[in-house]
């Protein structure tokens, strides 16, 4: 069994929603094919060794059945040594249907989420009609992700299955169990280095933020207009810190606090998902098909007992995989991202309590972008780990420290805390972390809107509060509700605040408290 830090994966959640619930799709799919065109770079002054990159001309070609335009940009692999090697960045856009204000780059989260797929598959989930009218909506795959120069960690998907789903025979949390996790993660890291090469050491968020500035320039925009969801808020804040004078209109929805440590992330998310689970149970008990009886507290205890039983006696699915507590936790977490998906939790718990594992694996496979035939749609899981290992310094490296952290998480979140513990992914990663986790102020930037949802399980509201205060020019927009991220997914109050800023430059005079 493999346990990893569960971070923000809105791209994967959005993909799962596309499977579980119908999305509105592309509203302009009926338009004729747009002609091939080029983007004129800004021709701004940059260092001589960066000039070839900043002066490149993007050639856009009709793609994806003619509904979009696609292009490929070239960036330095190592921004400190631009002349050594270069990488490719994949771009997709939907041109503005009305009067164009510029390009709006969108990042769906992750890390490891594909902006290309997000815009191609879920344009109207990513942005509303107002922004589609006023901006060229640009999706991009960050370095290491999907269609860009990508992290790769296996040649046979069966080895990815083994890494994600194999279960240690040793007792959960024991020294022997931790040793098994460390060995699996070390092998995985070495496989990533083997198949990825030098790029594996350059997929950090700071490098991706420098790519973002390059994309801004070659798209022809003097300032960056950007919508970042979830992990995309860290990427956007990092950009603002590096290039404050080049910030145009930035909206960060489902914020990550850049100052959080690896343990802080696990602790805050454990509490967040536990709160969302309790909210689901309270809602479930008011319906007719709830698999739980008694109080919410009693139901939480039942779920914890269920996870413990899966540690002791995994359930075998029809495809031969065994359902342990780690995979079950992913199956639980996925529907918690959005209240609309809560009914799937009832089906999940009902089936597993009946001794059936297939439905749990369907949800877990959606989380990991795994197909029924055992192949994977993209490299989001590989990129997720590789980027996080460069972005977060390892704080717990011994069995004793891992077990001490696990005890703390169990106190904070008795049901899910133990499952989000024992993160050994990066202890023996081929490259050390390159980033200090400190507050980002982005001194001198333009206004930056930070959107936070009060019961967001993946990026808890406290992070949005913190980031909006840390940013010198941050402005908080609060959505009082459930779910992960709020823009275009909650109410007109949030949408109006975001759209008014992007279109008219109107900054809320105070938190509208939507």
Which one of 122, 230, 266, 466 is the catalytic residue?
230
For every residue of 393-461, which 3-state class applies, written as one string? Answer: CCCCCCHHHHHHHHHHHHHHCCCCCHHHCCCCCCCCCCCCCCCCCCCCCCCCCCCEEEEEEEECCCCCH
Q: What element of type H or E holds 12? A: helix 10-20
Preceding peptide of 111 cis, ω within 30°: yes
Spatial distance between the Cα atoms of 108 and 250, rounded to a whole number of angstroms: 14
Half-sphere exposure of 241 (CA within 13 A, CB side): 18
The token pair that represents 39 in the structure block: 């983007």
- Identify the active-site residue in 168, 325, 484, 499: 484
Task: Using alpha carbons, select from 6, 3, 111 the residue that is nearest to residue 337.
Answer: 6
Any idea what DSSP says for residue 376? B
Q: Tell me if residue 159 is catalytic.
A: no
Q: Whole-angstrom Cα distance, residue 359 to residue 345?
A: 10
Blockwise average pLDDT, block size 10, the chain, 514 residues: 37 40 30 60 94 96 95 98 96 96 97 96 97 98 98 97 96 95 97 98 98 98 98 98 98 96 90 95 90 95 97 97 96 94 96 98 95 95 96 90 94 95 94 92 98 95 97 98 95 98 97 98
CB 78 within 8 Å of CB 86:
no
Model pLDDT, residue 4: 36
Residue 97, burial from CB neighbour count under 10 angstroms (0-12, 13-18, 19+): middle
Residue 38, pLDDT score: 86
pLDDT of residue 36: 54
| Domains with residue ranges and CATH for the chain | 12-150+201-259+438-504 (3.40.50.1820)
Token representation of residue 405: 């952290």
List residues bridging with 103 in a β-sheet. Answer: 136
* pTM reported for the whole predicted model: 0.93
Question: Residues with Cβ < 8 Å from 318, sequence gap 6 or more?
Answer: 358
Q: Which residue out of 456, 466, 490, 499 is catalytically annotated?
A: 456
Q: Can 484 be counted among the known catalytic residues?
A: yes
């Amino acid at each position: 069994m493999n346990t990893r830090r569960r971070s923000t994966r809105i791209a994967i959640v959005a993909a799962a929603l596309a499977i579980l619930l119908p999305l509105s799709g592309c509203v302009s799919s009926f338009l004729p094919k747009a002609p091939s065109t080029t983007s004129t770079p800004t021709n701004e002054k940059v260092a001589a060794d960066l000039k070839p990159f900043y002066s490149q001309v993007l050639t856009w070609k009709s793609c994806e059945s003619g509904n979009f335009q696609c292009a490929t940009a070239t960036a330095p692999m190592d921004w400190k040594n631009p002349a050594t090697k270069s990488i490719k960045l994949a771009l997709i856009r939907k041109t503005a249907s009305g009067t164009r204000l510029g390009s709006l780059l969108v990042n769906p989260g992750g890390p490891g989420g594909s902006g290309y797929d997000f815009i191609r598959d879920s344009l109207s989930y990513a942005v509303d009609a107002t922004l589609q009218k006023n901006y060229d909506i640009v999706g991009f795959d960050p370095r290491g992700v999907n269609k860009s120069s990508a992290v790769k960690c296996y040649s046979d998907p069966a080895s990815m299955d083994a890494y994600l789903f194999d279960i240690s025979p040793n007792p959960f949390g024991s020294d022997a169990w931790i040793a098994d996790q460390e060995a699996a993660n070390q092998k995985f890291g070495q496989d990533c280095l083997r198949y990825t090469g030098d790029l594996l050491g350059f997929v950090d968020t700071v490098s991706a933020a420098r790519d973002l500035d390059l994309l801004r320039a070659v798209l022809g925009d003097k300032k960056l207009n950007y919508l970042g969801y979830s992990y995309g808020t860290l990427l956007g804040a990092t950009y603002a810190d590096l290039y404050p004078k080049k910030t145009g209109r930035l909206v960060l929805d489902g914020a990550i606090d850049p100052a959080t440590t690896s343990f802080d992330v696990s602790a805050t998310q454990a509490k967040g998902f536990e709160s969302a689970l309790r909210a689901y149970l309270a809602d479930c008990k008011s319906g007719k098909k709830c698999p739980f009886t008694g109080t919410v507290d009693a139901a939480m205890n039942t779920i914890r007992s269920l996870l413990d039983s899966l540690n002791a006696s995994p359930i075998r699915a029809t495809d031969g995989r065994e359902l342990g507590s780690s995979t079950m936790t992913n199956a639980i977490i996925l529907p918690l991202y959005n209240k609309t998906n809560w009914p799937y939790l009832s089906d999940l718990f009902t089936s597993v309590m009946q001794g059936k594992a297939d439905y749990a694996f369907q949800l877990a496979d959606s989380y990991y972008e795994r197909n029924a035939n055992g192949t994977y749609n993209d490299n989001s899981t590989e990129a997720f780990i590789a980027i996080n290992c460069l972005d977060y310094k390892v704080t717990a490296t011994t069995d004793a420290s891992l077990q001490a952290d696990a005890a703390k998480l169990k106190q904070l979140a008795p049901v899910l805390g133990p499952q989000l513990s024992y993160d050994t992914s990066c202890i023996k990663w081929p490259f050390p972390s390159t980033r200090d986790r400190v507050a980002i102020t982005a001194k001198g930037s333009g206004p930056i809107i930070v959107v936070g949802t009060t019961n967001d399980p993946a990026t808890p509201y406290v992070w949005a509060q913190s980031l909006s205060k840390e940013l010198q020019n941050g402005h908080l927009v609060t959505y009082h509700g459930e779910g992960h991220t709020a823009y275009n997914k909650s109410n007109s109050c949030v949408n109006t605040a975001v759209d008014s800023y992007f279109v008219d430059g109107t900054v809320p005079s105070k938190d509208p408290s939507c």
